[in-house]
Structure 1
Amino acid sequence: MKITVISFTKGGNKLNHCLCQALRNIGHDVERFQRYSTTPADEIGSFDNIGVLTGNLFESREGIIYIGACGIAVRSIAPYLQGKEVDPFVLVLDEKGDYVISLLSGHLGRGNEMCREVAALIKAKPVITTATDLNGVFAVDLFAGQHELLIKEIPRIKSISAALLAGEAVGIYSEYPLLGKPPAGLEPGVKKVGIYIGCDINAAPFETTLHLVPKNLVLGIGCRKGVTSMALYKRVTEVCSQADIDITRISAICSVDLKREEPGVHELADKLKAQTSFYSAEELSAVTGEFKHSPFVEETAGVGNVCERSGALASHYGKQLLPKTTGAGIAMAVFEKEFRIEF
């Protein structure tokens, strides 16, 4: 995850350093800021105005960790709050490292999970206040985040949680395989309030239906050098709309390794909240199947088809939803990865 750790005092700065090191050791992309740092900027970022810094980080980072008073964190994030589906998680640590407080986006943003993880790393006590966690009740927004499911009706989360906290059963219906035993409170036969897992947002198996849509599409892409993220986004949006493909379901963007340094591709991935994968011409040439061949692409990239071959490879030979489509200097194809839920 992309995480920023911010501290304000000498004691906080020391904890900041130790925490960042620990988070990097377990694979997180971590940057740190401390007030009035005298360390070179490439090692630690300094800041004068915490509100401005927070604003710059709020859309680009998946999580922000403040080491200091809760009041500082609350006032810093207040102007930038949009909703649990888009806000990063926010944790607050005291500078002695005794407590870790999950302040924002505990479920969808994985804040509660990170709260426990950070507490374990620094031997602190996690402080989590969400009712479902405290009562050991199934949390649909946490479940969605863990299984890469998009929640289409955020306000209906309350209906699901309220029913479970009241001891009522909640229905579940899935277009995809459900493996294992569902958590307590989820029952297939319930008709009043329930969860639907699938791609038909008009499906209504329950009186109140919360739709969870899998984020399991792979976009294979080829493009001319220097294409902008705006041009890529416009083209992808247009083509997917015509093919009735929901672009918010794109979880990965892939291409040939010649495109690894293309800013437009990475910016598109950030906009779609997708991962990126790049493959060598040799790896793409070894992909089996029938693909549209282009002599020009083979001459420039070393393989006659980039978008379909990379999409097939990244999706583990998933179902092809969109064949190679070209235009505006961009070639694209879309594949659907196999999807299932394991309880």
Structure 2
Amino acid sequence: MVENYLIRIVFFTKNGKKVYTRLEEGLKNVVFEEKGEKTSLKDFAKESFEYHIPLVFIGATGIAVRTIAPFIEDKLYDIPVIVIDEKGLNVIPVLSGHYGMGNDLARDFAKVLNANPVITTATDVEGVYAIDSFAARNGFRILDKSKIKDVSMKLLEGQIVYYKNEIEDLKFQDKEPKNINQASGEKIDFVFTNDKKKDDGTLKLTPKTLVIGMGCKRGKSFEELLSFILEDYTLEELKDNLYGICSIDKKANEIGLLKLAAYLHCKFITFLAEELESVSGDFSESEFVKENVGVGNVSERAAVCVGAKLIAKKQARDGMTKAYATRDLRSIKWQE
């Protein structure tokens, strides 16, 4: 199981290009889209925000800040933006460090470059648990961003925060982090719930449960793939409730699927044929598919491979396949 990313990148000097080459060689689960010479920097950044694709600048922080300023709107929807100096000495997440996972990406980049990750978010600096990073990592929506700071401030001050679990199927594999306790009569600071109303003053985390297994012929466009699943769900439903798009490892660098996952604010997860084959269930098998990719069904098996229950079997059209599943919430982890 591998999480894959589409990331856009821009550099300005020969040294910057060398840094980019090192990243490209060192990050096998990332497909980079480089800014073309004929594309303006402003247009490149604008489109990155529109399609929700993380953006990396190799150059001065000032250039990055001035470029992205017109497109910043909401910390829960803005893309992660990372700046790396042209010698690859420092990696700086400047936007969406927690919910956009910018801090984690910066650490991954720094490891490849043997660089210094310049992390400035208070919870990271103080070694305090970040509830918004937890939400992003485990596929939870945060309904009101203003409540994040209330939880973070209490943790930064060494206070205990209390949570309530209203989701019957939600089970954790590990113990709560320091200063996070399940409530037993205390005032609740945050709650795991399926209730999507924002009006009670509590930080609400609602799970994204939909999983889509997908396969496609090489070169299928983002537009074709999006249209294919919009036959069954609205764009709002997908952005609110889609946990991940899953496929076989041979599709890990399929631009259409990578762009689709970025646009829908969800994970793109791929599995080896052996992992897909090991999943038990009643699947629509094809000898032709098995001869080509090593397993008789990609979409259905991939959908359930994250620990999910199939709710709609494979549908196929124009070289694309899809299957839908609901995620099992018994394997959530507080810690990575």
Does 1:235 pair with 2:231?
A: yes
Separation in structure 1 between the aligned mates of residue 298 and residue 86 of structure 2, nearest angstrom: 50
Q: Contact 2:139–2:243 at 8 Å: present in 1 too? A: no
> For residue 311 of structure 2, what is the aligned residue in structure 1?
322
CA-based RMSD? 4.5
Query: What is the letter of the counterpart of residue 3 of structure 1?
Result: I
Query: Which of the residues 222, 241, 254 maps onto 1:248?
Result: 241
Question: Which residue of structure 2 lines up, in the alignment, with residue 341 of structure 1?
Answer: 333
Instruction: Tell me the amino acid that sits aligned with residue 339 of structure 1.
Output: S
TM-score, length-scaled by structure 1: 0.70
Q: Which amino acid aligns with 1:153?
A: D
Take 2:195 and 2:208, find their aligned partners in 1: how far apart are those partners? 14
Is residue 130 of structure 2 the alignment partner of residue 135 of structure 1? Answer: no
Residue of structure 2 in register with 1:153 after alignment = 144
Cα shift at 1:139: 1.0
Offset at residue 104 of structure 1 (A): 0.7
C-alpha spacing 1:216/1:94, structure 2 compared with 1 (3 Å): same
TM-score normalised over the length of structure 2: 0.72
1:20 is aligned to 21
CA contact 2:207–2:241 (8 Å) conserved in 1: no
Aligned length: 316
Q: Secondary structure of the equivalent of 2:15?
A: helix
Return the letter of the residue paired with 2:31.
D
Letter of the 2:178 counterpart: A
1:122 maps to which residue? 113
What's 1:182 paired with?
176
1:100 and 1:62 map into 2 onto residues whose CA distance is 18
Q: CA deviation at 1:135?
A: 1.9
Question: What residue in structure 2 maps to residue 32 of structure 1?
Answer: 34
The amino acid that maps onto 1:134 is: V
Q: CA deviation at 1:202?
A: 5.4
**1:129 Cα shift?**
1.8
Matched ranges for 1:234-313 at <5 A: 234-237=230-233, 248-253=241-246, 268-272=260-264, 273-275=266-268, 289-290=281-282, 310-313=299-302
Matched, 1:196 2:191: yes
Matches of 1:332 and 1:266, distance apart in 2:
17
- Post-superposition CA distance 1:288-339 (Å, at most 9, x none): 5457x8xxx979989xxxxx98435531395536344989999754332453
Among 44, 54, 62, the residue aligned to 1:63 = 54
* Residue segments in structure 1 that go unaligned for 5+ positions in a row: 34-44, 303-307
Task: Write the distance in 2 (CA, Å) between the matches of 1:116 and 1:261.
Answer: 22
**Relative to 1, partners in 2 of residues 1:105 and 1:318: Cα closer, same or farther, differing over 3 Å?**
closer
Give the whole-Å Cα distance in 1 for the aligned partners of 2:276 and 2:123: 46
Instruction: Tell me, yes or no, if the aligned pair for 1:89 and 1:106 is still in contact at 8 Å.
Output: yes
Q: Deviations over 1:209-258 (max 9, x none)?
A: 322233443224699xx9944543432216997xxx98623412559x9x
Instruction: Tell me the amino acid that sits aligned with residue 177 of structure 1.
Output: K
Gaps (5+ residues) in structure 2? 291-296
**What's 2:207 paired with?**
214
- Counterparts in 2 of 1:323 and 1:247: CA distance versus 1, 3 Å: farther
